[in-house]
Structure formats: structure tokens, C-alpha cells
Structure 1
Amino acid sequence: MKQLKYYLIVIALLIVAVKVCGDQAEKEPENLYTEQRESHDAARSRGEHTESQEKNKKRQAENTSDKLEIPAPMANGDEMILKRKAYTTSYNPSTKLPNWVAWHLTANHVDGDHSRGGMKFHEDEDVPEPRATDNDYKGSGYDRGHMCPSGDNKWDADAQWESFYFTNACPQHHGLNRGDWNEMEQQCRKWARQMGDIYIVCGPILYKGPHKTIGENQVVVPEAFFKVVLCMRGTPKAIGFIYRNTDGNRPKGDYVNTVDQVERITGLDFFPALPDDVETKVEAEAKLDDWY
């Protein structure tokens, strides 16, 4: 009788162990990302530094002046430089938007196991309040539009997580976010695969105000967006694109501009780390056919 009880207890324990393991294995990506976010939030509420914050602190001390994708410091404008694992952001506390987001996209970075799953955008506590929150976007009619896209960050879990900071997002028209802007993001990944690597800078364009805002924190709604792309493989070349923040379904060629033209519109100085003669040449030309 005692032996039977012993076997029954062992069987019961095995059933419980299998159930627990099965529950862990069957968790959806959204639940896993929720746990990751709750872990970050809990640590911050206790006044502790998360691993991500510590990594960010180390990145802030790094010199980025020799990185080809980094624009020159802004002469007139608010900016906080935020260095992430996969990208660098110039953040504007006044608009609650990035001035620009820059990254080096390689062929090795366009694929990976760390897809967005059910990941949601989250506040960036490395910037002061007031700052963009999820409530600002709710009911606004605008998408949370990635600048450095989730699809460029499947290569690493931390990179994917950091791509969902609101400091890497802007209020974007749904038709643009899911349409032509998304098509250009996919095209950049194709170019990275074909050419080995490319350098990308993108961000909002704010024409003379007043500007529309959303939410309690008054996040500014951009009138347009820019993207500039540089390739140094073979003969160096660069190209720029400008998209109105509206719906649209147009050929890529309709959005093409030279990098010089994008600089005149945005007031930014792109690719300053290039030799002057190379910078002058590539920024004056915009031939879409050269990229195919």
C-alpha cells in the first residue's frame, strides 16, 4: 500500500512538471514581451537601473563622430543624442519627436529570430517629461510610425526592444505607414542584402508652424518625412526621399530628391564624416536607376 502511494505521488509530480514546462513553451511572443516590459518597469519603480539603461549609459560615452551615418550637430535646434544598440537618435524635447534617427544596416541585420511579435511601443525614460506616451496616440487617428523599423532589428532582442521606444517614433498617417513608407523600408533591406551594407538617416519634416499636436503631452505631428541612404560599396552613391504625411500610393521615383535638397529642407547636414569631395558628389546626385 505504501509503495502504491509512493508511485502515485511520483506520477502526480511528473504531471505537474510537464504542465509547467508546457505552459512556458506555449507562451505567445506578446506575453514574453509583456513580461520583459514589466521587468523593466518594476526595476525602474524601485529606483534600479535596468540592463538596458546601463548599456545606454556606456553607449553615450562612445564617440560617434567617425560613423558615416551620423549627421553633423544641429546648429539651431534642441537635441539630445541617444545611442542605442542598433541606431542613434537626435531627440527634440520640445516636439517630443526625434530630429533624426540614423543606423548602419548590414546584410547580417536584415534577418533573424527576434521578430516584433506582440511587442508594443513604450516610453523612453532616458528623456525628461513631458514625453510621448501610448495615451497620446490613442484615438489620435495616427499610427505610431517607426523611424528605424522593427524589420531592421530582428537580429537582436535588445535591438528589437529599443526600436519600440517612442523616441524612435512619430505620428504617421496610417496609409503612409502601412503603404509607401513601409515599401521603402523593405526596399532598404533589399539593398542591404544586395550591396552588403548601407547607411540610413530618416526623420520628421516640420514646416513653419503652428503644428498640429496629439495627446496631453502635445506630441507634434510632422507635415512630412525624409529618408536619405548612402552606399559606399563600389562607386559611392546616395539618394534622398521626401514623403508627405498623407495617404498615397505612388511610385518610388515620385519621392526622390538629392541629399542636398533634403538638407535644404531640413536644415540638417548629412554624412559629414565623408571626404569632402565624395560628400559633394554623392549629395548632388539622385539616380534611382543606380540602385537597381
Structure 2
Amino acid sequence: MARRQRRGLLGQLARSSRIGLIFVVVISGLWYWHEGGVRDQLSWMGVPDWQWNDWRGWNRVLRNDGFLVGWSDVRAEPLWVGYTLNRVDNPHSLPRPDHFQSDWRSLWPISGDDYARSGYDRGHLAPNYAMAVVHGREGQLDSFLMTNITPQRPKLNRQLWQRLEEAVIDDFVPRFGSVRVVTGPVFDDQLLHRVGFSQVPVGFYKILVVPGKTPKALAFLMPQDVTGDEPLARFVITIDEIEARTGLDFFPQLADPIERQLEGKVEKSGWGLEAVSTRPGRYQ
């Protein structure tokens, strides 16, 4: 009798486990389907792919208000950040948040205090000003999560990089109406060169795309050791070269003929880069 009861109890547990497993699979599938739809809205031609034979390129996608982050738990910082900037009538900034926030989604307890006396700024990848203007307060607040922050030298962060961010939101977006941006760091082999938990990059890239039947692209790669007053045009580069430096495949859903045309050459015409290349930044 006791044996039959035990068998009955085990059978009930097995059936409950199968039902629970099915429930988890269904819920996970619905979540992934929903997240995929949101990612498609926030990215253009897919999120960047990484090479499976290089463990350093592994990343997982974090979703925020207005932007996506390809987060690396190996390097403890983003490998890429993607967002869309649309033209806004009468743009105005919002008060800058007064502190940076740790992000529970990171495996590491990264905080803004890690940067104290390090010689590096807490550099935004999704920019504070652009997120505030286009995506509102929630997007701006999310840009102050430490999963959007990377170590940048002051002359890069406060001068050259800031000038590029300003040109994008103040010139390129009004010119084209909408610009897709993918931006992130470039590393060397010094995996232990860190600020707190985060590896220090040797440079940063920014890829700008204007979608359409014949999409336009303009890409930059800037090293850490700049003086800050260099012309922006000096750092224009092909997307293929950025892919070679990062191990990422940008816009993986793009048809091969368009991809070769878009990523394999530099095309500055139509951007008005000459007008902004040497313009002083907002905070200089």
C-alpha cells in the first residue's frame, strides 16, 4: 500500500514537473518573441553579431528606454550601444541627473565611484543630451546606468567625442530626419588594464546610418590619446575596418551587395561634415 502511494506521489510530481517545464518554455518563448520585436524597433538590420570562436566578443543584449546595450561580462562594459535619433521640433534639454546608477543586470558591482582618481571620465555611449531630447526623461536616466558607461580620457570625452555627439544630434539628425547609431569601444590585448572592474579601451567607434532604399553610412574611430581639437574628418573610417578591430558583424540582416557597398568604403558626400569638422564643442 505504501509503495503504491509513493509511486502515485512520484507520478504526480513528474506530471507537475512536466507541466512546469512546459509553462517555463512557453513563457520564455513569449518573452523572447516580445523582446525580439522590441530589439527590431531599436536596431537597424539586426543587433551586431559576434564571432563564436572569440570568447572576448561574447555579449548579451540589455534593453533600456531608447537604446540597446551589448554587455560584456568579460570586459565588464558595453561592446556596443545602439539607438535611433529622430528629428525633434523645438528640442530642449532636461536637467542632468546628479549621479550614476549601478545596474543589477551586470554580474559585477560596478559603480561611479570606481572612477575616482583613475584619470578617466565616466564616458557615455548613449549620450545624455541626445537621449533627453529624443527619448525623454526615462531614456536620459537609463543613460546614467553604469552599463552604458566606459573609461574615456578627459580630452576625448569632453572635447572630441562631445563634438561628434553634438554634430550628430544638432546637424546630421535635422538634415536627414532620422539617424541610426551604433557606438562602442575598441580594445587591445591588455585584458587586466582596468578601471575598477571595467577594461580600459584604446579607442572608440561610432557608426551612423541613414536608412532608405540606398542607405548612407559614416563611421568614425577615435583613439584615447587625442588632444581634443582635431578635425572630426580625420577619424572617418570604413565599417569593415571597425568590424576587423572589434570582431563584431554590424547590420547582419543587410543584403550582401548593399553591405559591401555600405561597409567597404568611405563616402562623406551629403553629410555636411566639412561644416562641423573643426567647429568648437558646446562646452569648450
| TM-score bracket relative to the smaller structure | 0.7 to 0.9
Q: 1:169 to 1:263 in 2, by over 3 A?
A: same
Query: What's the TM-score, normalizing by structure 1?
Result: 0.73
- 1:149 matched to 2:127? The reply is yes
- Mean Cα deviation higher: 278-287 or 104-113: 104-113
- Mapping of 1:159-238 within 5 angstroms? 159-189=139-169, 190-215=171-196, 218-233=197-212, 235-238=214-217
Post-superposition offset of 1:59: 9.1
- Corresponding position of 1:106: 86
* Matched residues, number: 232
- Mapping of 1:79-90 within 5 angstroms? 79-90=59-70
Aligned match of 2:254 in 259, 274, 277?
A: 274
Q: 1:165 to 1:211 in 2, by over 3 A?
A: same
Post-superposition offset of 1:187: 1.1
Cα distance in 2, alignment partners of residues 121 and 158 from structure 1: 14
Q: Percent identity?
A: 27
What is the letter of the counterpart of residue 119 of structure 2? G
Post-superposition offset of 1:110: 9.0
- Mean Cα deviation higher: 245-254 or 258-267: 245-254
Q: 1:195 to 1:110 in 2, by over 3 A?
A: farther
Considering only aligned residues, what root-mean-square deviation do their CA atoms show, in Å? 2.3
Q: 1:207 to 1:291 in 2, by over 3 A?
A: same
Q: 1:238 to 1:206 in 2, by over 3 A?
A: same
What is the letter of the counterpart of residue 50 of structure 2? M
- Corresponding position of 1:27: none
Cα distance in 1, alignment partners of residues 116 and 153 from structure 2: 14
- Corresponding position of 1:251: 231
- 1:127 matched to 2:94? The reply is no
- Mapping of 1:70-85 within 5 angstroms? 70-75=46-51, 76=54, 77-85=57-65
What is the letter of the counterpart of residue 133 of structure 1? S
Q: 1:83 to 1:162 in 2, by over 3 A?
A: same
**Structure 2 segments unaligned to the other structure (5+ residues):** 1-30, 273-284
- Corresponding position of 2:19: none
Post-superposition offset of 1:175: 0.5
- Corresponding position of 1:35: none
Q: 1:69 to 1:187 in 2, by over 3 A?
A: farther
Per-residue CA shift, 1:130-163, capped at 9, x if unaligned? 2321121111111000001011112411111001
Cα distance in 2, alignment partners of residues 119 and 235 from structure 1: 42
- Corresponding position of 1:96: 76
Cα distance in 2, alignment partners of residues 60 and 253 from structure 1: 41
Cα distance in 1, alignment partners of residues 106 and 138 from structure 2: 19
Post-superposition offset of 1:266: 1.0
**Structure 1 segments unaligned to the other structure (5+ residues):** 1-57
